């Protein structure tokens, strides 16, 4: 991990969150990648045509499927801010999706299939019943981002900050 005193961009990120971030500190080994990643991540996960709650459900569905401790911890916190309850978190983890809306179920199932198979032939069509093309692209981007960060964290054994 890179020490924030050695990287001004990393130091700025951590000063905003007021805590160490193992993901950023590890990615800072390639500072140009970290500088490009942060705005891209924000563009994918930030405000858009899909509500924040659905984006968090998608991110968490991928992270649970990939057993990514880091992303699960980070997105459990942001998911709660988006209105996801403890019961819903358990339901996502155990794939008991009946309590979610039809649109949320479609997005979560699509994200899981995309995570497990790298395609989504069985679940893609259900998205069109609830989302427009722009929203489906946005949901796909969130799932792809989750899978990217899950693999980065799992591959390098990056664990949540204590």
Same domain? 130 vs 151? yes
Contact present, 27 and 37 (Cβ < 8 Å): yes
In this predicted structure, what is the pLDDT of residue 162?
77
Same domain? 38 vs 101? no
Q: Is residue 160 part of a domain?
A: no
In this predicted structure, what is the pLDDT of residue 113?
97
Contact present, 99 and 87 (Cβ < 8 Å): yes
Q: Is residue 97 part of a domain?
A: yes
The DSSP call for residue 100 is S
Same domain? 41 vs 85? no
Q: Which domain holds residue 18?
A: 4-45
pLDDT values of the chain reduced to their tens digit, one per residue, 162 residues: 898 889 999 999 999 988 899 999 999 999 999 999 999 999 999 999 999 999 999 999 999 999 999 999 999 999 999 999 999 999 999 999 999 999 999 999 999 999 999 999 999 999 999 999 999 999 999 999 999 999 999 999 999 987
Same domain? 36 vs 58? no
In this predicted structure, what is the pLDDT of residue 161?
87
Residue 19, SS3 per DSSP: coil
Same domain? 34 vs 84? no
CATH, residue 86 = 1.20.1290.10
From residue 88, alpha-carbon distances to 4, 76, 97, 128 in Å are 36, 10, 8, 24
Q: Which residues contact 71 (CB under 8 A, 6 or more apart)?
A: 59, 62, 63, 146, 149, 150, 153
Same domain? 56 vs 127? yes
């Amino acid at each position: 991990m890179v020490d924030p005193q050695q990287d001004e961009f990393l130091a700025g990120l951590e000063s905003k969150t007021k805590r160490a971030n193992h993901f950023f500190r590890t990615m800072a080994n390639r500072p140009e990648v970290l500088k490009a990643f942060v705005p891209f991540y924000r563009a994918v996960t930030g405000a858009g045509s899909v509500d924040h709650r659905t984006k968090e459900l998608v991110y968490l569905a991928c992270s649970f499927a990939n057993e990514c401790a880091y992303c699960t911890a980070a997105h459990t916190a942001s998911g709660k801010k988006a209105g996801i309850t403890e019961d819903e978190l358990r339901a996502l983890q155990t794939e008991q999706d009946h309590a979610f809306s039809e649109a949320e179920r479609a997005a979560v199932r699509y994200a899981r299939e995309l995570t497990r198979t790298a395609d989504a032939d069985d679940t893609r069509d259900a998205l069109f019943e609830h989302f427009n093309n722009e929203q489906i692209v946005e949901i796909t981007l969130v799932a792809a981002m989750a899978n990217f960060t899950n693999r980065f964290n799992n591959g390098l054994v990056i664990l949540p900050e204590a």
